[in-house]
Amino acid sequence: MKSFVGIFGCSAGFGFVIALVYWWVAHEETVGTVLLGVMTAALVFAAIYAVIGERSARLDGDEPDLTNADAAGEDLGVFTTSSPYPILIAAGAGLGLLGLLWSPLIGIAGLTVVVLCLWRMGAESSRV
Amino acid sequence: MIEWMTTTDHKKIGIMYMVATMTFFVIAGILAMLIRAQLARPENDFLSAHAYNQIFTLHGTAMIFFVIAPFGLGLANFLVPLQIGAPDVAYPRLNATAFWMFALAGIVVFSGFAMYGGAAATGWTAYAPLSEIAEGTGAGQDLWLLGLLLASVSTILTALNLIVTIFLFRAPGMTMWRIPIFEWEIVATAVLILMAFPSLTAVLAMLLIDRHLGGHFFDPAFGGNPILYQHLFWFFGHPEVYVMILPYFGIITEVVATFSRKPVFGYVGLVIAAFAIAGLSIGVWAHHMFTTGAVNNPFFSAVSFLIAVPTGVKFVNWIGTMWKGSIEFSTPMLFAVGFMLNFLIGGITGVMLASPPIDYDAHDSYFIVNHFHYTLAGGSMFALFAALYFWFPKMFGVRLNETLGKWCFALMFAGFNVTFIPMAFMGLEGMARRVYTYPNIAHLGLLNAIATGGSVILAIGVMVFFADVATSVFAAARRRVPVAANPWGGYSLEWATTSPPPEFNFEELPPIRSRRPVLDTVNS
């Protein structure tokens, strides 16, 4: 996870510097400072989460001398090969948005499809 | 059919992305030909002004949101797990959801053509307050907004998935400093998407609120601010340019190293350059707004100039990789060299436009059209074809015909340059972009006629590609001899498995002890 922290930490540092410089030279344009500031805050959040939450994570991919035999038995979880829910969720999301335009009923129907599919997908995950 | 609609296999989803993007590419290409037909001669009335506005709006929207950017992510879908030795992406069902949202988004946007009043007609930037006038723009504009909202959410989900996959699912021994450059470019792209796309989602939602829920974010008559729209849009819009180029830098690096028979020159420099480009691209958004007089031009000009430095580093590295290499000019390599030549022109005109005095003169002229087509069409699109020719055998187990491939490249390269070089001169002679007709003054009639002729050559080149696909697939079906696992002599991990790869990608992973694990295995 060192590389993850490094990339997000450096990006946050860069965002902070550029937000500071931008505020210094163009402080009358509040919107730019706010955009850069919020972006920096989000990057800091990701980096801090990785430092605190994933501190003890040990990844096979980070070990330069690890062999396939050494890593045998590692549990990567189960990868599904098919599921009917992704296409239904996408269709439901599309309907939900179209409901904004044409009818709240269409929107509610779309959101209902999304919620039901997410629920069933959760059940599908727990089965595998 | 059902199998493909319900699949969560990253390879099939990657292929579906590419089929979808190439379908949108054909539609966008037909729209481009209509644009060139209208502009072929002065004061032409082949299209009405409103039809022309719809066509150039959907051409730009399709190429940016439904071809160039998603093709890079679709290719990443196919390649990322293969190149890092993973069985799939981290979240296969999220991946499938993102693809279907993307496909649906494209259908929603293009369905605008079937609406009363037609499709969106306010340009791919949909500047407010023009795009806020519900009566003037109609349901087509609403569908454009909803489609792009879906596409932006889909892109964010894909970026998350790719970041998690690359960081957490690398095979034993595949450290971050051993992953192919394409993977690094995808990490930089995905981080950039996470930084920039929320701004697009926000501005589209605000526009919807203004249009339908009585908001006045961008309406100056009620205290709103149209400049705010431009800030929010370009805070996404300029990084989006790099979302459309960074994956293609990765493709070019892989192709150049493979066909030069050399390791990548300056691996670390390429990685740093990718992140420098991504970082700097966040700080240049208002160079699109120089002429508003409402932004700090020196700041945005300086940062825009700076981006040329890491981009130059990449060119040095590609040339360094080719230097004294045993170069083989197969079709992917030809497209890679074509990319470099075209992108160089786009890059240099970009540096010119980063200077506010030049931008004031060239803004909204055909010089701009020349500039961004040299970066995104001459650049990214050529890299897209390099990728198709390079990885087609891995995806489908079929190698495309080299002779047709070289004809495809020659016609596309010649056609592209004959189309777009005249546009620089049109811009210098004062021709404004997005106009549906123009007077017969200066050399505009001649220059436009040449550009239209070039576009026909370019279109023939693209048709040769599709003919190549059809004939090669047909010939392979008759021969029934599968293509080799590594037909080009590639070095990265995807070439260690069969073409096409099996479910979960690898029967057996080779040991990974360097950046070129496949060549290590061959040499040992």
pLDDT, tens digit, for every residue of B262-277?
999 999 999 999 999 9
Which residues lie closer than 8 Å to B184 by C-beta, 6 or more apart?
A: B250, B270, B271, B274
What is the arithmetic mean of pLDDT over B56-82?
96
Touching check for B291 and chain A: CB below 8 Å? no
Which residues lie closer than 8 Å to B135 by C-beta, 6 or more apart?
A: none
pLDDT of A78 strictly over 90:
no
**Contact pairs from chain A to chain B, CB under 8 Å:** 168
- A60 and B150 within 8 Å at the Cβ level: the answer is no
Helix axes B382-396, B331-353, angle to 10 degrees: 150
pLDDT of residue A117: 92
Count of helix runs (H) and strand runs (E) in chain A: 5, 0
Indicate the helix (H) or strand (E) that contains B242: helix B226-243
What is the arithmetic mean of pLDDT over B375-388?
96
Q: Name the average pLDDT for chain B.
A: 94
Question: Hey, which residues 223-262 in chain B have their CB within 8 Å of chain A?
Answer: 228, 231-232, 235
Question: Of A1, A2, A10, A11, which to mutate for an interface test with B (greatest number of B Cβ within 10 Å)?
Answer: A11
Helix axes A30-53, A2-25, angle to 10 degrees: 160
Which residues of A are less than 8 Å from B285 in CB distance? 32
Q: How far apart are CA B195 and CA A15, in angstroms?
A: 10
Partner-chain residue, chosen from B96, B187, B199, that has the shortest CB–CB distance to A83? B96
Question: Hey, which residues 153-182 in chain B have their CB within 8 Å of chain A?
Answer: 153, 167-176, 178
Question: Hey, which residues 58-87 in chain B have their CB within 8 Å of chain A?
Answer: 84, 86-87
Q: How far apart are CA B419 and CA B328, in angstroms?
A: 29
Give the torsion through C-alpha atoms of B66, B72, B73, B77, to 10 deg. 130
Indicate the helix (H) or strand (E) that contains B467: helix B444-479
Tokens of A53: 């939450």
- B235 and A8 within 8 Å at the Cβ level: the answer is no
Report how far apart, in Å, the C-alpha atoms of B30 and of each of B10, B48, B367, B375, B450 are.
30, 17, 23, 21, 18
Count of CB atoms situated within 10 Å of the CB of B6:
17
At B221, the amino acid letter reads: A
Cβ atoms of residues B231 and B181 within 8 Å: no
Neighbouring-strand partners of residue B365: B432
Touching check for B1 and chain A: CB below 8 Å? no
pLDDT of B127 strictly over 70:
yes
Length of chain B: 524
Count of helix runs (H) and strand runs (E) in chain B: 18, 0
Instruction: For residue B324, give how far its alpha carbon lies from the nearest alpha carbon of chain A (Å).
Output: 30
Count of CB atoms situated within 10 Å of the CB of B440:
12
Question: Hey, which residues 417-476 in chain B have their CB within 8 Å of chain A?
Answer: none
Residue A64 binned pLDDT confidence (cut-offs 50, 70, 90): confident
B133: nearest Cα among B31, B226, B51, B232: B226
Neighbouring-strand partners of residue B7: A82
What is the arithmetic mean of pLDDT over B403-427?
97
Which residues of A are less than 8 Å from B153 in CB distance? 93
Report how far apart, in Å, the C-alpha atoms of B268 and of each of B180, B265, B272, B308, B515 are.
11, 9, 6, 18, 12
pLDDT digit string, tens, across residues A5-36? 888 888 889 999 999 999 998 877 788 899 99
Measured between its terminal Cα atoms, the distance across chain B in Å is 43
Report how far apart, in Å, the C-alpha atoms of A99 and of each of A93, A106, B143, B343, B454 are.
10, 5, 11, 43, 44
Which residues of A are less than 8 Å from B199 in CB distance? 35
- A94 and B3 within 8 Å at the Cβ level: the answer is no
Higher pLDDT, B454 or B115: B454
Touching check for B139 and chain A: CB below 8 Å? yes
Q: How far apart are CA B372 and CA B352, in angstroms?
A: 13
Rg (CA), chain B: 23
Cβ atoms of residues B196 and B282 within 8 Å: yes
Instruction: For residue B164, give how far its alpha carbon lies from the nearest alpha carbon of chain A (Å).
Output: 9
Which residues of B are less than 8 Å from A89 in CB distance? 97, 100
Q: Say which DSSP state A56 is in.
A: T
pLDDT of residue B462: 97
Q: How far apart are CA A108 and CA A95, in angstroms?
A: 8
- B172 and A63 within 8 Å at the Cβ level: the answer is yes
My answer on whether omega of the bond before B42 falls inside 30° of 0, hence cis, is no
Cβ atoms of residues B478 and B227 within 8 Å: no
Strands (E), B419-499: none
pLDDT digit string, tens, across residues B502-521? 988 898 888 888 899 888 87
- A10 and B195 within 8 Å at the Cβ level: the answer is no
Helix axes B297-322, A2-25, angle to 10 degrees: 140
Length of chain A: 128
User: Percent of chain B, pLDDT > 70?
Assistant: 99
pLDDT of B204 strictly over 90:
yes
pLDDT of A74 strictly over 70:
no
